[in-house]
Chain A
Amino acid sequence: MSTPKTESSTEPSTKSTADRIIEVAGLCKDFDGKRVVDDIGFTVLRGQTVALLGANGAGKTTTIAMLLGLLLPTAGSIHVLGEDMVRHRHRVLGRINFSSPYVDLPRRLTVAQNLLFFARLYGVPKPKARLAELAGQLDLETLLHQRIGQLSAGQKTRASLAKALVNQPELLLLDEPTASLDPDTADWVRRYLEVYQRRTGAAILLASHNMAEVERLAALVLMMRRGRIVDRGTPAELIRRYGRRDLEEVFLDIARETGAAAPDTRTLEDPAAVSAPRQGTAAR
Chain B
Amino acid sequence: MTGRTVSTLGFAPSRIAAMVLRQAYLMRASWPRIFELMYWPTIQMVLWGFMTQFLMAHSSYIAQASGVLISAVLLWDVLFRGQLGFSITFVEEIWSRNLPNLAVSPLRPSEFLLSLMTVSLIRTLIGVLPAAGLAIVFYQASVFDMGLSLLAFFVVLIVMGWAIGMAVIALILRVGLGAENVAWLAIFLIAPVSAIYYPVSVLPGWLQAVAWCLPTAPVFEGMRAVLIEGVFRTDLLIHAILLDVLYLVLGAGLFLFSYHVARRRGLLLQIGE
- Which candidate, B1-9, B50-58, B207-215, is the interface stretch facing chain A? B1-9
Task: Give the complex CA separation of A93 and B107 in angstroms.
Answer: 9
Q: Does B21 contact A (CB under 8 A)?
A: yes
Q: Does A42 contact B (CB under 8 A)?
A: no
Q: Does A98 contact B (CB under 8 A)?
A: yes
Q: Does A124 contact B (CB under 8 A)?
A: yes
Q: Does A273 contact B (CB under 8 A)?
A: no
Q: Does B178 contact A (CB under 8 A)?
A: no
- Which candidate, B64-72, B161-169, B264-272, is the interface stretch facing chain A? B264-272
Candidate in B101, B263, B269 with the most chain A CB atoms within 10 angstroms: B101
1/0 contact trace for A92-113 toward B, CB 8 Å? 0111111010111111111001
B15: A residues at CB distance < 8 A: 120-121, 123
A93 nearest CB neighbor, chain B only: B106
- Which candidate, A44-52, A63-71, A136-144, A236-244, is the interface stretch facing chain B? A63-71
Q: Does B26 contact A (CB under 8 A)?
A: yes
A104: B residues at CB distance < 8 A: 96-98
Contact A117 B1 (CB under 8 A): no
Contact A117 B18 (CB under 8 A): yes
| Minimum Cβ distance to chain A for residue B272 (Å) | 9
| Minimum Cβ distance to chain B for residue A26 (Å) | 18
Contact B1 A123 (CB under 8 A): yes
Q: Does B136 contact A (CB under 8 A)?
A: no
A72: B residues at CB distance < 8 A: 260, 263-264
> In B72-109, which residues have CB < 8 Å from any A CB?
96-98, 100-108
Contact B25 A109 (CB under 8 A): yes
Contact A70 B4 (CB under 8 A): no
B19 nearest CB neighbor, chain A only: A121
Contact A71 B263 (CB under 8 A): yes
Also in contact, A123 and B14, with CB within 8 A (given A69-B104, A70-B263): yes
Also in contact, A31 and B104, with CB within 8 A (given A109-B22, A117-B21, A122-B2): no
B260 nearest CB neighbor, chain A only: A72
Contact B2 A95 (CB under 8 A): yes
A96: B residues at CB distance < 8 A: 104
Contact A31 B266 (CB under 8 A): yes
Q: Does A197 contact B (CB under 8 A)?
A: no
A127 nearest CB neighbor, chain B only: B18
Contact A121 B264 (CB under 8 A): no
| Minimum Cβ distance to chain A for residue B238 (Å) | 36
Contact of A108 among B2, B5, B96, B108 (CB under 8 A): B96
B22: A residues at CB distance < 8 A: 106, 109, 113, 117
Q: Does A116 contact B (CB under 8 A)?
A: yes
Contact A103 B1 (CB under 8 A): no
Q: Does A163 contact B (CB under 8 A)?
A: yes
Contact B98 A106 (CB under 8 A): yes
Contact of A65 among B2, B97, B269 (CB under 8 A): B269
Contact B106 A123 (CB under 8 A): yes
Q: Does A178 contact B (CB under 8 A)?
A: no
| Minimum Cβ distance to chain B for residue A27 (Å) | 14
Task: Give the complex CA separation of A97 and B263 in angstroms.
Answer: 18
Also in contact, A108 and B101, with CB within 8 A (given A102-B269, A113-B25, A123-B15): no
Task: Give the complex CA separation of A72 and B264 in angstroms.
Answer: 5
B26: A residues at CB distance < 8 A: 106, 108-109
Task: Give the complex CA separation of A120 and B29 in angstroms.
Answer: 19
Task: Give the complex CA separation of A113 and B265 in angstroms.
Answer: 32
A117: B residues at CB distance < 8 A: 18, 21-22, 25
Task: Give the complex CA separation of A72 and B265 in angstroms.
Answer: 8
Contact A98 B3 (CB under 8 A): no
Q: Does B12 contact A (CB under 8 A)?
A: yes
Contact A121 B106 (CB under 8 A): yes
Point out residues on B near A: beta carbons under 8 Å: 1-5, 12, 14-15, 17-19, 21-22, 25-26, 29-30, 96-98, 100-108, 260, 263-266, 268-269
The 3 lowest CB-CB distance pairs between A and B, nearest first, are A94-B2, A123-B3, A120-B18
Given A70-B104, A70-B269, A121-B106, 12 additional A-B pairs, CB 8 A? A65-B269, A70-B263, A72-B264, A97-B104, A100-B100, A103-B97, A105-B96, A120-B18, A120-B21, A121-B15, A121-B105, A123-B3
A-B contact list, 12 entries, CB within 8 Å: A68-B103, A68-B104, A70-B269, A71-B263, A94-B4, A98-B104, A104-B96, A104-B97, A106-B22, A106-B98, A120-B17, A121-B19
